[in-house]
Amino acid sequence: MPSCMLIEKKLATFASSDFASSDITMIRNENDQSASSRRHFLASSAMGLQSIALAWLLHQDEVSAAPVQPELSPTTFDLTPKQPPNPPQARAMISLFMQGGPSHLDLFDPKPELEKYDGKDFPGKIKYDNAAQASPIVLSSPWKFKKYGESGTDLSELLPSLSEVVDDITVVRSMQTGVNNHGQSIHAMNTGRIQRGRPSLGSWLTYGLGSVSQELPAFVAMTDPRGIPVEGVHNWSNGWLPALFQGTVVRPREPRILNLDARKELSGLAQKNYLSFLNELNQEHLQQHPGELDLQARIASYELAAKMQTAAKEALDVTKETKETHKLYGLDDPATEEFGTRCLIARRLVERGVRFVQLYTKNQYWDHHGSIRSALPASCKKTDKPSAALVKDLKQRGLLDSTVVHWGGEMGRLPVIQNNSGAAKVGRDHNTYGFSMWLAGGGFKAGGTYGATDEFGHKAVENAVNHFDYHATLLHLFGLEPNKLAYLRNGQEQTLLDGQPGKIVHGILKGD
């Protein structure tokens, strides 16, 4: 029998069956424009009922391409708070991202061997990033180190304020990403892989946990007034997660959020009526296009914007804080005022239920290839007091136990001179094979160091912590299972670790 006659005959059978379009199974959501439901396919198809009939015939004849897969995650997404599978120790996070690569050798990781070889050739092999300006001559730290606190942690004289909270932090001295340039290493630290286009850590946390606050963004990115970091918006991108989970930028200057106020003629009851009508239209449109994740995110952003008119103004208004708090964060000093204000806003945001806040220094602020003797003290002056104040303030408010504070960049620096053209001009090249960062609160140990680099501070040699170990540990503290927080993309489950052998670093956790 000709195929067209066979189809016509079976169409009659189909028409008389109790197969109903309302029973059509929703197709799995993915982050692209083609994701839709079979109901959507019916609405947009020129063949209409015949298209559905043909699909039914294929199923009846058992020639469909693949069996129907069960629904593995929701087809709609929101930011309502979600209970993690395990009891969480951390409920919010503030990441102070020092873009450019702070020199661990001059801040956190003293090396007596550098003093022994200062001015001499490095006794071994070393990997340079910039061979043109490279030098094999060892550079010892120009700054003195001292032990602080009951933990006896060594810190540089460039970090006097951090020394006051040293027993509240853990210094990890054995970080590594292994890719010796900024962009890839930033991606490793912020998204789990060296390639761009993946979801950032803040996006994963808000995807898995939502936000306590429904009147403020769940994930806030706070940029430096002198420019955004290397890789720009990729630092707070949602990647291929639904757009709802991307970071919201809070500007470094007033107005910190643009267009927050309605026009005078639209304020009050007029705005309320307008937004109510807009919501009706949006919901009707969404029903006609189920599974459209960008549309869901756009509607959610409209709803959040209306709520933020009051909530965001209050949260961003640091004038409500006491003079003592202003002084604590350094708002009375031009050198620390800007970064201190952002740190204070970060505390106010997590206090009000924001899940993840990340502060960035400007493009290459810590990238001291030259003039390190003047540039590094200036960078520390800007950030040291506000960073320590954040830890103090969270602790005295009872928030530190549930809030992770992270301070660090994407790399450290080499133990040898770069740009050997005079003492005032020398610097240090990139080093992603061993560098330092510190962590506080949210289940991390208070006081002490973890891991070690070799005698010259070149490579991590004891308890090395890769970026995927760092991410696995963070997710664990938030009560999430690193290999089970997944999003289905192109038929495959994707995770933050994405198959990498990330381990939970128990040595930096309380009680372990």
Each residue's pLDDT tens digit, 255-299: 888 777 766 666 666 666 666 777 777 777 777 777 676 677 666
Each residue's pLDDT tens digit, 168-188: 999 999 999 988 889 999 999
Question: If you average pLDDT over residues 190-194, what whole number do you get?
Answer: 94
pLDDT confidence of residue 421 = 93
Phi, psi at 80, each rounded to 5°: -65, 145
Coil, strand or helix: which one is 347?
A: helix
Tokens of 13: 């059978």
Give the helix/strand (H/E) hosting 388. Answer: helix 372-396
DSSP string, 250-289: E-SSSSSSTT-SPPGGGSTHHHHHHHHHHHHHHHHHHHHS
Is residue 335 over pLDDT 50? Answer: yes
Q: Please give the Cα distance from 235 to 243 (Å, whole number).
A: 14
Question: If you average pLDDT over residues 72-76, what whole number do you get?
Answer: 55
Quote the Cα angle for 345-350-356, to 5°.
Answer: 100
What are the structural domains of the chain? 3-60 (no CATH), 92-261+302-508 (3.40.720)
Question: If you average pLDDT over residues 110-132, what whole number do you get?
Answer: 93
Lowest mean pLDDT among 50-64, 187-201, 466-480, 491-505: 50-64
pLDDT confidence of residue 64 = 36
Question: If you average pLDDT over residues 147-156, what whole number do you get?
Answer: 98
pLDDT confidence of residue 480 = 97
pLDDT confidence of residue 343 = 98
Question: If you average pLDDT over residues 369-377, what whole number do you get?
Answer: 97
Percent residues over pLDDT 90 in the chain = 67
Q: With bands split at pLDDT 50, 70 and 90, how would you rate the model's confidence at 131?
A: confident
From the list 177, 198, 237, the residue with the least C-alpha distance to 467 is: 177
Q: What's the chain's average pLDDT?
A: 85
